[in-house]
Structure 1
Amino acid sequence: MKIEIKDLTKSYGDQKALNSISLTIDKHEIIGLLGPNGAGKSTLMKIISGVLKSPEDSIRYDGVGFNQNPEFIKSRIGFLPENNPLYSDMYVKEYLGFVANLQKVSKDQIDLFIDRVGISPEKNKKIHQLSKGYKQRVGLAAAILHQPELLILDEPTNGLDPNQILEIRNLIREIGQEKTVILSTHILQEVEALCTRVILIHQGRILQDTSIESFKGKYSSLEEAFKDYTS
């Protein structure tokens, strides 16, 4: 799915969370969305995913405005928010069946996605019994169950241990071979490991939209570049 954003502005009262954002995301790109806390990253992802309403004609999905066919566009988007809202008293397979029903997807596919994200040994456990890494996998399975063309991930490895981080990264890399992925993270090594392009947002504006190599430029690391751009 190709995303085109033009002059997107979003305010909360007198505060502008996003200020005249314009960008294009092509099919099968893995985009790293960077910025300090409060930069506007989560607001941008919620608007792209349809969780927050966007101004008329500010975003087009494969040339179609969101308000022209919102249900169809939402059906092509998968979103894993930072807080990963799961029903902890449900069994893993039961929860994914619930999501499949909401997404109008055949429940016959559930085991396929359980295998794909590596939670087969845990599928008959209640979600509250799972480690955080497995909970993230359940959230990821729910986000891709309807086979979206665009996958939006907000801090998908936050709070995971090093082994879990590597496992989730490998899953994202695999998914990115067939989908457009927007990844927001504070872990700059994650962007370097996964993304082909970085978009840096600060105070609601895009400061950089370029390749990893160009973003680093003269700096010895992404961390050094990030600090300089946002200080």
Structure 2
Amino acid sequence: MAALIEIDRLTKKFGDTTVVNDVTFTLKKGEVLGFLGPNGAGKSTTMRMLAGFLMPTSGTARICGADVVERPIEAKRKLGFLPEGAPCYPEMTVEGFLGFTARVRGYRGVEAAERVSHAMKLADLEAVRLQPIEILSKGFKRRVGLAQALLHDPPALVLDEPTDGLDPNQKHEVRELIRRLAPEKAIIISTHILEEVSAVCSRAIIIARGHLIVDATPRELEGTGQTLDEFFRDLTLNIPAFGF
């Protein structure tokens, strides 16, 4: 089975600082990857390069075979991206923003309306569809961001902290949604919550200081007997042990 997401020796430097260093991995349909690491590890930078928001210094990233630098439009058509903070146009209503997203994606008329309606249903936004985004809670804003990522039914999803700001019931609903979507998609989830990795992920990658350190199953991570905070602390204290 061909990989839907491919990252090959991806590197990003800002001046003399290397934020992502020679990271390589692939993801196939049906895989949900928990993308983990301490603050400043390079997770968000990696995801922004994959989504085409940042140009890599070297290396390549491909979505369904389309290079994000050489064929950016084709790559972005195949990707749903929920960035950190879920930025939206605050003065728009939920329905208006998703309608705008549908038009940007090339949908018109009945198809656009159906896409918007389905995305709102997936993210449970019907009750706030006519409210301006700026007055919504952090959790609802996050769900608006999730809806725009799902609107075009992409085969690849990259979700940066998808449950950030959600209450326990909302977190459960989003995790259930990810589980339902997983068989037909390749999904990357950035999270700090080991419970979330155990709940929805089939695989976990840990990076630290821009280097890929661990590629394992959630069960293998749990087998260490450490919390993520403890694991990240040990990474920070014992970086020479990992060949840095």
* TM-score of the superposed pair, with normalisation by structure 1: 0.91
Aligned to 1:204: 210
In 2 relative to 1, CA 186–56 (structure 1 residues): closer, same or farther, beyond 3 Å?
A: closer
Aligned to 1:108: 113
In 2 relative to 1, CA 55–16 (structure 1 residues): closer, same or farther, beyond 3 Å?
A: closer
Q: CA–CA distance in 2 between the matches of 1:187 and 1:145?
A: 26
Q: CA–CA distance in 2 between the matches of 1:174 and 1:163?
A: 17
Query: What per-residue deviation string (whole Å, max 9, x for no partner) do you get for residues 3-28 of structure 1?
Result: 22222111011110011111111122
In 2 relative to 1, CA 52–133 (structure 1 residues): closer, same or farther, beyond 3 Å?
A: same
Q: CA–CA distance in 1 between the matches of 2:160 and 2:218?
A: 19
In 2 relative to 1, CA 125–26 (structure 1 residues): closer, same or farther, beyond 3 Å?
A: same
1:189 equivalent in alignment to 2:195: yes
In 2 relative to 1, CA 127–99 (structure 1 residues): closer, same or farther, beyond 3 Å?
A: same
Once the 2 structures are TM-superposed, how far is the Cα of residue 55 of structure 1 from its aligned partner?
4.8
In 2 relative to 1, CA 89–140 (structure 1 residues): closer, same or farther, beyond 3 Å?
A: same
Aligned to 1:35: 37
1:133 equivalent in alignment to 2:139: yes
Once the 2 structures are TM-superposed, how far is the Cα of residue 179 of structure 1 from its aligned partner?
1.6
Q: Which runs of 5 or more residues in structure 1 are unaligned?
A: none
Q: CA–CA distance in 1 between the matches of 2:78 and 2:154?
A: 4
Aligned to 1:24: 26
The answer to whether the 8 A contact 1:28-1:177 is kept is: yes
3-state DSSP class of the match of 2:80?
strand
Query: What per-residue deviation string (whole Å, max 9, x for no partner) do you get for residues 136-163 of structure 1?
Result: 2211111111111111111122232222
Q: CA–CA distance in 1 between the matches of 2:59 and 2:19?
A: 18
The answer to whether the 8 A contact 2:63-2:78 is kept is: no
Residue from 129, 137, 144 that aligns with 2:150: 144
Q: CA–CA distance in 2 between the matches of 1:128 and 1:21?
A: 37
3-state DSSP class of the match of 1:54?
coil
In 2 relative to 1, CA 128–61 (structure 1 residues): closer, same or farther, beyond 3 Å?
A: closer
In 2 relative to 1, CA 31–128 (structure 1 residues): closer, same or farther, beyond 3 Å?
A: same
* TM-score of the superposed pair, with normalisation by structure 2: 0.87
Query: What per-residue deviation string (whole Å, max 9, x for no partner) do you get for residues 19-72 of structure 1?
Result: 111111112211000000100000000011111113566223334433342111
3-state DSSP class of the match of 2:153?
coil
Aligned to 1:168: 174
User: Relative to structure 2, which stretch is displaced further, 27-36 or 176-185?
Assistant: 176-185
Query: What per-residue deviation string (whole Å, max 9, x for no partner) do you get for residues 67-124 of structure 1?
Result: 3421111111111111111122211111111111111123222112212221112112
**What do you get for the CA RMSD once the two structures are aligned?**
1.9
Q: Which runs of 5 or more residues in structure 2 are unaligned?
A: 238-244
Give the fraction of aligned pairs with identical amino acids, expressed as a percent.
Answer: 42
The answer to whether the 8 A contact 1:57-1:65 is kept is: no
The answer to whether the 8 A contact 1:216-1:225 is kept is: no
Q: CA–CA distance in 2 between the matches of 1:130 and 1:216?
A: 36
Write the letter of the residue equivalent to 2:24. Answer: S
Q: CA–CA distance in 2 between the matches of 1:66 and 1:162?
A: 35
Residue from 13, 16, 27 that aligns with 1:14: 16
